[in-house]
């Protein structure tokens, strides 16, 4: 009798974990798709066009292909070095992140899982561009006021930044020693 209860509990826990892995994958695939579609729209409508400005120049849409990392850092690397340093190494790190989430998702709060999903999706969105389009990542958004502006970025960059910020905020606001998912009453499971 005792082993049946244990098996049911284990099966319930696995179903919950499998569901959470599915949610992680669904969020990630949705965000990667959003990034890919937006980059294709930028290529179609912004390439070889003048900068488009909105909301009194707060938002600019401008097509740029970036072969470096953030804000063209390492743009002048040898293509072979760039392939490994900006393509394969980040891909390996993201696969490690995916494995970490799969192993730990059962004990992870939803906010943390979503933060990891944002980072994973953003990283994959840019790495897919790097690997498929010979190191070229499409960037097209710029925000700012007058001369105080961001670099030109894409949704993948936005996902990564939002994911990192959410993990930092989550880390600072969670009760010490808790990483358990909460039930509907707010209690840790």
pLDDT of 83: 74
What is the C-alpha to C-alpha distance for residues 188 and 180, in angstroms, rounded to an integer?
6
Give the tens place of pLDDT for each residue, 65-88.
887 665 555 566 666 776 777 778
Known catalytic residues?
139, 157
Residues 6+ apart with CB under 8 A from 47: 63
Return the axis-axis angle of helices 110-132 and 155-173, rounded to nearest 10°: 150
pLDDT of 101: 96
What is the C-alpha to C-alpha distance for residues 61 and 46, in angstroms, rounded to an integer?
7
pLDDT (mean) for 1-13: 54
Is residue 17 scored above 90 in pLDDT? no
**pTM of this structure:** 0.79
Token pair of 74, please? Answer: 């390492």
What is the C-alpha to C-alpha distance for residues 92 and 76, in angstroms, rounded to an integer?
23
pLDDT of 182: 46
pLDDT of 184: 43
Give the tens place of pLDDT for each residue, 96-149.
999 999 999 988 898 999 999 999 999 999 999 888 877 778 999 999 998 899
Whether 125 contacts 36, CB under 8 Å? yes
Give the lowest-confidence range in 5-9, 130-134, 150-154, 157-161: 5-9
């Amino acid at each position: 009798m005792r082993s049946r209860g244990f098996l049911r509990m284990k099966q319930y826990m696995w179903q919950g974990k499998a569901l959470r892995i599915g949610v992680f994958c669904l969020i990630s695939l949705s965000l990667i798709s959003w990034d890919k579609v937006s980059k294709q729209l930028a290529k179609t409508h912004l390439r070889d066009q003048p900068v488009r400005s909105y909301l009194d120049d707060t938002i600019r849409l401008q097509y740029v292909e970036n072969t470096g990392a953030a804000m063209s850092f390492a743009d002048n690397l040898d293509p072979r070095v760039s392939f490994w340093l900006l393509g394969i190494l980040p891909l390996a790190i993201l696969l490690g992140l995916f494995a970490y989430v799969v192993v730990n998702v059962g004990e992870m709060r939803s906010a943390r899982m979503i933060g990891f999903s944002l980072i994973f999706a953003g990283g994959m969105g840019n790495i897919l561009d790097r690997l498929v389009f010979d190191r070229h990542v499409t960037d097209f958004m710029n925000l700012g006021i007058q001369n105080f502006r961001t670099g030109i970025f894409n949704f993948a960059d936005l996902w990564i930044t939002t994911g990192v910020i959410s993990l930092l905020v989550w880390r600072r606001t969670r009760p010490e020693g808790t990483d358990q998912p909460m039930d509907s009453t707010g209690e840790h499971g």
